[in-house]
């Protein structure tokens, strides 16, 4: 049983739970949108991705961001997933990240897309 993210209560008033695949997707989202140093007991956790929203858009920045994301996922979730592909695009102040990965426990291929803008954190 996995606790759902973001934390909430279900219809019965209990802590909401989720499936294993959804839990892994939730963990990926937490790594992507947590800044290093934001968590007191895990200062290395996160990717710093939200700072990229305000950086100038270029092919070099997109490539650097792809490496940033892949490195953060490998550092924090390597025991759970194998990252196959990361695509990052920034349009105006909206950042979209698409990740193709394999769940190590099941061998199942997954694709997850995350979108954040400067005003919708």
Give the integer Cα–Cα distance in Å for 39 and 71: 18
The domains found in the chain, sorted by start residue, are 2-117 (3.10.450.40)
Q: Where on the phi/psi map is residue 92: left (φ > 0), alpha (ψ -120 to 50), or beta?
A: left
Calculate the alpha carbon distances from 3 to 7, 14, 43, 46, 93 in Å: 7, 11, 22, 19, 31
- Residue 64's SS3 state is helix
What is the phi/psi pair of residue 107, to 5°?
A: 75, 10
pLDDT band at 51 (very low <50, low <70, confident <90, very high): confident
User: Is pLDDT of 5 > 60?
Assistant: yes
Quickly state the pLDDT bin for 120 (edges 50, 70, 90): very low
Indicate the pLDDT class of residue 92, thresholds 50, 70 and 90: confident
């Amino acid at each position: 049983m996995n606790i759902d993210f973001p934390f909430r209560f279900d219809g019965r008033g209990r802590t909401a739970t989720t499936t294993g695949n959804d839990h892994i997707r939730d963990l990926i989202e937490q790594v992507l949108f947590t800044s290093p140093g934001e968590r007191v007991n895990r200062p290395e956790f996160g990717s710093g991705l939200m700072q990229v929203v305000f950086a100038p858009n270029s092919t070099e920045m997109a490539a650097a961001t792809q490496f940033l994301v892949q490195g953060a996922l490998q550092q924090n979730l390597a025991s759970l997933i194998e990252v196959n592909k990361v695509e990052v695009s920034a349009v105006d102040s909206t950042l979209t990240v698409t990740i193709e990965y394999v769940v190590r426990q099941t061998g199942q291929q997954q694709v997850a897309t995350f979108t954040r803008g400067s005003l919708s954190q």
